[in-house]
Structure 1
Amino acid sequence: MTGRGAWVAYVGPFRFPWGEPGSRRVFGLAQSIAATGTDVVVVSGESGPTTPAAVTGTSGSGTVWHVGAGERPAGGANVVSKAFQMVVGLGERTVRWLDEQPSRPSCVVVYGGGAQYMARVGRWCRRNGVAVVADVVEWYAPHQLPGGALGPPHLSAKLALHHYYPRCQGVIAISSLLEHHYRGRGRRVLRVPPTLDVLDVKTGGQAIRAEVSPLNVVYFGTPGRKDLLTPIIRAADAVARTTRLTLSVYGPSIEQVRGLLGDAQLPPSVRVPGRVPQQDVEEIVREADFSILVRPSERFTHAGFPTKFVESMACGTPVIANLTSDIGQYLKDGRQGLVCVDHSSDEIQRVLRRAAVLPRPQREEMRLAARVTAESFFDYRRFADPLAAFLGSLPGRR
C-alpha cells in the first residue's frame, strides 16, 4: 500500500492495536490523521504482521495500516539479549523497514522508545528529508522507571525529553504542561488529549437502570507508578461500614493489593478481579456508577493525561478524581462527576459518602454530561482537521 499517495508513518516499540495504554493513544491519533484522507502505517514493536494489514474500526477516506518491525525482544530471549535489543539496538529494525519502502512517508510520528530510538529515527528522517514529529505523553519521575534516577530507562527518557524532542519539526503534546514546555523551546506544538471513537462506545449499563443497589465504584490501573490506590481502598472500607458500597479493583493482583495494605486481608467491600483484556474494559466501566482516579499533584501527573478518564467519560460513567493534568477542563464538580480537593483518604471518604446519597436523577444527569463531554472533546474526529493542518505546516514535510 505504501506505493500510492501520501502516507504517514507512526512508529515506536509499543504493542498495537492492544496491549498497553499507549496502544489506544496511537490508534486514536492514527484514526484522526486517516479521517482526512491520508493513509497511516503504524510500525509497532511487535514481530508481526510482516506486511501492512488494514486495521478494522477505521473510517474516512484514509486507512490505518499496521506492520510489526520486531523491536520488542522475543518471549524466550535471555536477559542479556533483551537488554541489548531494547537499549543498544532499539530503532534499527524500524529504520530498516522505512528504508525498504518504495516511497518515503510525508512525515514520521514517533511514540516512545527513548533517546536511542529517537536518535536513529531522527537521523533517518534528516537523511531522507522527512519531517519528524514527537508524540509526547509523559514526563517520567525517577521512581517510575527501573533503576531510578541513574537507571538506563530514566536517563534515556530524560535525554529524549530534553534533547531529541525539542529538535523535532513538531511536537504533539498530550497535556497543557507539555504544550507550554515545548512551545517555550520554540517548537511547533499541537495539544491532543487521549482520543478514541467515542461514537462507537455504548452507554447506559445496569447502573443507570438500578433502583436500589450498592454504589458500584471501579478502579483500573497500575498502582504505585501514578495512582494512589491505598487511600482509595481505605476510604472505601470506611464508607462501606455504614453505606452499601463495592469497590472493584482491576489491574493488580490480590497479592499486589494486599502488599499495598501491609499484607492485611482485603476489606469485604473490595473486589480484586485482577487484569482483564483491554477489550473487556468498556463493558465493566459502563456498568459502574463511578470510576475513581486519584493521583498525587506532581509534575509527572500533570504532564500526562489518563486514558482511563477518557474511557470512563465515553461510557457515560461519571468520574471521581482530584484535578491533576488537564482534568479540571473537563470535570466539573457535580456535573461530569465529583471532585476531590486533594488525594487524602479523608477527602476520598467525603466524596464517596456524597456519591452514595446522590438521587438517581442527578446520577443520570452526570452520566449524560460525561458522555456529551467525551463526544465534544475526546472523539478522534474532533482532531482530524487540526492534525492535518499541523502536519501539513511542518518544514521538511514531503
Structure 2
Amino acid sequence: MNIFYTGAFRYPNLDAAGKRVQTIVTCLSPEHNITIGGWEKNNNNNEPNHISFDILDRRNKNSLLRIINFITKGLKIIPYIIRNKHKYDCYILYNPPYLFSHVMYLFCMCTKKKLVLDNTEWYESEHLIGGRYGLAAIENRLRMKYIYKKIKNKIVISNFLYNFYNEHENTIIVPPLSYTTEIKKKPHTELNLIYAGSPGKKDKVNSIIDIILNLSTDNKNKIKLHLVGFTLGDFLKSHVSYNEKKLLFIEHVIFYGRLPMHDVYKLYEKMDYLIFFRENKRYAVAGFPSKFVEALSFSLPIISNSIGDIKDYLPKVGIIYNPGENDPNELIKTALMCKNKFDKDIDQLFHSHFSIDANKCKLLNFIENIK
C-alpha cells in the first residue's frame, strides 16, 4: 500500500512527535511504501520519501494573521495532496488540526481513499492560549469530540483514548516506541537524577526542586539533579517564588538549557534515574510520556507519580513518589539502595511492550484491516 503520513510533527527526530512517526514508519515500511510529510522546516536529511512543509515554526507578529494561521494550519498541504492523489491509497494524520482534519475526511470520502488518525494527546483547555473558552480550546474540543470520532481507523497512544473511541472497532494502542540502546555501567556512588524536556504546563519541575529543598543536609550531599531543556533563569521566570530559595538548591542542581538529543542520550548513560511528575488531569492520562520509554531504552529506571498508563509499569521499573505526600528522604534512601536492581525488569518490559519488534505485527495487521 502507498501511504502518505503527515501532521503536526518535525521529522525524523526533531521532537517527540517526529520520533513517534519515525518508529511507526519503521514498523510499516517493510510491507508498505510510505512518504512522510513533516511540518518542520527543511532539515536536509536527504531521505527520498520525506517532504518538509514548513508549517509549525512560522511566527507572525500580527494577531489577526496568527489567528488565521492557527485556524488554517495544515491546509497548505492540500494542493500537494490533490495533485498527487493518484500516488497514495491511504493517509495517516498525526494529531491534525480540526479544519485540516475535516478537509481530509471529505477528500478521502470523495476519492475512496483510506484515512487513519494517529492520536497521542488531548490538551487541557486551561493550558491553551485563551484558556477554557478561547479559540484554541474550542478548536481542541471540535477536533476531539467531532471530527476525530468520524475517522474510522485510529492509532492511539493510551488506554484513555482507546476507551474514548471504544465504539470504533479498528482502533489500536501503540505506546511510544524506541530502539534498543547499548547500556554502559554507572560506577559512581552518588545519586544522579535527570529530567529532560520542555516542561511548559505539563511536567511539574518545581516538584523535583522541592525534593532537594526538603532533604536533610546529609542526603543533599548524596544527590545531583540534572535538568535539561531550560536554564536556571527560565525556571525562576516561571516560578518566581523560588528566587529567594535558589541558594538552598543551586549547589545540587545542574541546569543545561536546551541540548541536541544526542547530547541528552549521552547524559542518560551516566544517570541513575529519570524523574518527572505530572498532575492527575486529562492531558496526563490521555497521553503517554515518551521520556518514560526513552529512559527504559537506556535501562534507566523512573521516579514518578502513578498517573495514566505508566501506573501499569511502576513500581516494576522504578519508584512511585507522590510529591507533597511521601518523604523525600525516604525516596533518596530507597533510590540509592535500589538503583541497580531494576535492570532485568526494564529489559523484559522494554522488549515486550515498547520495542519496534514488539509492535510491528500489530501495526501491520492494523493497516491490512483499515476500512
* TM-score, length of structure 2 as denominator length: 0.90
Contact persistence 1:239–1:353 (CA under 8 A): no
Aligned to 1:354: 334
Deviations 1:199-258 (A, max 9, x none): 2x22124x2x23xx3210011123342111112111123336222101111112212222
Deviations 1:14-38 (A, max 9, x none): 211133221111111111111x421
1:70 to 51, 54, 69: 54
1:25 to 20, 37, 40: 20
**One-letter code of the match for 1:220?**
A
1:249 to 220, 224, 227: 227
Aligned to 1:227: 203
**One-letter code of the match for 2:317?**
Q
Confirm or deny that 1:381 pairs with 2:352.
no
Contact persistence 2:152–2:168 (CA under 8 A): no
Please give the alpha-carbon distance, in whole angstroms, between the structure 2 residues aligned to 1:235 and 1:24: 31
Contact persistence 1:195–1:379 (CA under 8 A): yes
Question: Unaligned stretches of 5+ in structure 2?
Answer: none
Identity %: 21
1:116 to 72, 79, 99: 99
Confirm or deny that 1:99 pairs with 2:92.
no
2:153 to 147, 153, 170: 170
Please give the alpha-carbon distance, in whole angstroms, between the structure 2 residues aligned to 1:311 and 1:66: 24
Please give the alpha-carbon distance, in whole angstroms, between the structure 2 residues aligned to 1:106 and 1:240: 62
Please give the alpha-carbon distance, in whole angstroms, between the structure 1 residues aligned to 2:267 and 2:63: 39
2:287 to 280, 286, 304: 304
Aligned to 1:45: 39
* TM-score, length of structure 1 as denominator length: 0.84
Please give the alpha-carbon distance, in whole angstroms, between the structure 2 residues aligned to 1:222 and 1:72: 16
**One-letter code of the match for 2:54?**
G
1:13 to 8, 12, 18: 8
Deviation at 1:111, TM superposition (A): 0.9
Aligned to 2:69: 86
* 2:88 match: secondary structure: coil
Deviations 1:36-82 (A, max 9, x none): 421221111134379x9537xxxxxxxxx31112333546x543575
Please give the alpha-carbon distance, in whole angstroms, between the structure 2 residues aligned to 1:24 and 1:122: 25
Deviations 1:65-108 (A, max 9, x none): 31112333546x54357525632432322222222226342321
**One-letter code of the match for 1:378?**
F
Confirm or deny that 1:190 pairs with 2:172.
yes
Contact persistence 2:158–2:309 (CA under 8 A): yes
* 2:226 match: secondary structure: strand
2:47 to 38, 42, 54: 54
**One-letter code of the match for 1:338?**
I
Aligned to 1:147: 130
Deviation at 1:279, TM superposition (A): 2.6
Q: Which moved more, 1:288-297 or 1:274-283?
A: 274-283
**One-letter code of the match for 2:28?**
I
| 1:221 to 1:320, Cα distance in 2 relative to 1, 3 A | same
Aligned to 1:60: none
Deviation at 1:131, TM superposition (A): 1.5
Deviation at 1:192, TM superposition (A): 0.5
**One-letter code of the match for 1:249?**
L
Please give the alpha-carbon distance, in whole angstroms, between the structure 2 residues aligned to 1:385 and 1:227: 33
Contact persistence 1:11–1:94 (CA under 8 A): no
Please give the alpha-carbon distance, in whole angstroms, between the structure 1 residues aligned to 2:269 and 2:71: 43
Contact persistence 1:291–1:312 (CA under 8 A): yes
Please give the alpha-carbon distance, in whole angstroms, between the structure 2 residues aligned to 1:79 and 1:163: 30
| 1:254 to 1:79, Cα distance in 2 relative to 1, 3 A | farther
| 1:147 to 1:255, Cα distance in 2 relative to 1, 3 A | same
Contact persistence 2:38–2:50 (CA under 8 A): yes
| 1:255 to 1:168, Cα distance in 2 relative to 1, 3 A | same
| 1:349 to 1:258, Cα distance in 2 relative to 1, 3 A | farther
Q: Which moved more, 1:219-228 or 1:135-144?
A: 219-228
- Aligned residue runs from structure 1 range 267-346, under 5 A: 267=249, 268-331=251-314, 333=315, 335-340=316-321, 342-344=322-324, 346=326
The CA RMSD measured in Å over matched residues stands at 2.3
Contact persistence 1:136–1:171 (CA under 8 A): yes
Question: Unaligned stretches of 5+ in structure 1?
Answer: 1-5, 56-64
* 1:242 match: secondary structure: helix
Please give the alpha-carbon distance, in whole angstroms, between the structure 2 residues aligned to 1:110 and 1:277: 27
Deviation at 1:308, TM superposition (A): 0.2
